Amino acid sequence: MSAAARSCRLDGRTRTRRAALARLARELGFPGHFGHNLDALFDVLTTDLPGPIEIVWRGRTRAELEADPELGPVLATLEEAARARSDLTLRLEEPRA
């Protein structure tokens, strides 16, 4: 990623959807009209922010995130946005054994 890339780091301490959305909004500089829900997350990531954008989520396995009723939908939305936009990178860094 270039020096001008927007980036956000989520970690294992992120336990709720609200916390994940707040961190993403803060670190990526979401506009004031961001609605703090999953539809708004997708819309902002795919239309409102200049890229490149890098999101790194570390400290939990994919299976843990997918099974979490709070964070699974956030992960799914981030993955959907990354598929829709070539300059948005989502990287999961699972904990080391």
CA distance 92 to 86: 17
Q: What is the pLDDT of residue 2?
A: 47
Asked if residue 8 lies in contact with residue 55, where contact means CB atoms within 8 angstroms, the answer is: yes
Average pLDDT for 16-28: 97
- What are 41-93's pLDDT values in tens digits? 999 999 999 999 999 999 999 999 999 999 999 999 999 999 999 999 999 99
Residue 97 has pLDDT above 70, yes or no: no
CA distance 5 to 88: 10
Q: What is the pLDDT of residue 68?
A: 97
Can you list the positions of beta strands (E) in the chain? 6-10, 53-58, 88-93
On the question of a cis peptide bond just before residue 52, with omega within 30 degrees of 0, the verdict is yes
Q: Could you give all domains of the chain from N- to C-terminal order, each with its CATH number?
A: 6-93 (3.30.370.10)
Q: What is the pLDDT of residue 1?
A: 45
CA distance 16 to 88: 23
3-state secondary structure of 73: helix
The band of 9, judged by pLDDT with boundaries at 50, 70 and 90, is very high
